Amino acid sequence: MLADSQLRLSACAPQQRISMLPPEACSSAPSPQQGSEPIWCCWDTDVEKCMSSMQMGTQMVKLRGGSKGLVRFFYLDQHKSCIRWRPSRKNEKAKISVDSVREVCEGKQSEIFQRYSDGSFDPNCCFSLYYGEHMESLDLVSGTGEEARTWIHRPQVPDGRHQ
């Protein structure tokens, strides 16, 4: 497995699994073109702008097993080490360490998304974070596709470390 400091997201087609690839693999991928069909992860995004947006947070729908989704406010904590959400009755459990994220799937790929009818959510706004040793999923629906891509992207600082 690649060291976390070497991970970066690759370009992907809509509703396709996004894999973590080393930076050299990503640099050979074609750059996004305006109006093209594939959805691209934040290649040219200003890292500071992206981080600031994530720290300010956004409302998204958190999907769960058998019930309707819950609207929650998601944000990157002040140390840039955890994705957190509120409200939550289990405040200490309402977080995911950024380092524990193993994979990000764009679109309606997870088992949870499959339980909802096709027209329920725009696939461009849907994504799942798989984290931890048991690959648990956090299935989210953002307000816009652009907002989703901000959260899908894992920004890197110039020395290659994730922020």
- pTM for the model: 0.67
SS3 124: helix
φ and ψ of 111, to 5 deg:
-60, -40
Q: How confident is the model at residue 88 (pLDDT cuts 50, 70, 90)?
A: confident
- pLDDT at site 115: 85
Architecture of domain 4-152: Roll (2.30)
Predicted confidence (pLDDT) at residue 156 exceeds the cutoff of 80: no
CA dihedral 93→95→99→104, nearest 10 degrees, is: 110
The per-residue pLDDT for 74 is 96
Domain segments of the chain: what residues?
4-152
pLDDT tens track for 90-122: 878 899 999 999 998 899 989 899 888 777 889
